[in-house]
Structure 1
Amino acid sequence: MFSSDADKTIDPQLHDAAMSTFGILLDLLERGQRDGSFRPIAVSALAAASWAQVHGLAMLAINYQLLEEKVGSTPVPTALDVLLDGMCRSD
């Protein structure tokens, strides 16, 4: 699902899994906006930022690029904290 090698146009199950996962993300972001947790910006922008961040982290992990000497000992939780800091309301 995270690799460009995986052709989602040829494998409908892979496409369906990706779309289902993205739908869950959209739902969570919409609920977070309704309850005041997330900033009132376009849900599509929040989704794009979230999806890109997780995709990038997944690809780096798959390719063994999350080296402690480069990114510290907890790169994934730290990167997700930074993402959430930008998405969450500050008031």
Structure 2
Amino acid sequence: MAGDKRSGLPMLVPEPPSELETLKARLAVAEEREQAMRLVLRALTTSLRPFGFSRQRFLRCVREEGRDAPTDGPASVRHTVFEQEARRVLREAR
């Protein structure tokens, strides 16, 4: 290639993550999903009343947890879990 200029430095190629690093990352995501499920269950039990289920209270609890959840890193998966599981609870509560 005529237009391709090389600087003379060796090209640095990042090493692929090791299997151990991959497993650690997957474990961190799984632990965050578990924590998010616990928070959804806590919101559900908090919103149960003697004569039924308070949708407003449940949604308020889930929204508060969503605001507190980080937006980056493994903990960001909590937002997805909150959305999926809150929809499931609300669908079943009809």
Task: State the TM bucket, normalised to the shorter chain.
Answer: 0.3 to 0.5
Higher Rg = 2
Q: When you count strand as a share of all residues, which structure comes out higher?
A: 2
TM-score normalised to the size of structure 2? Answer: 0.36
TM-score by length of 1: 0.37
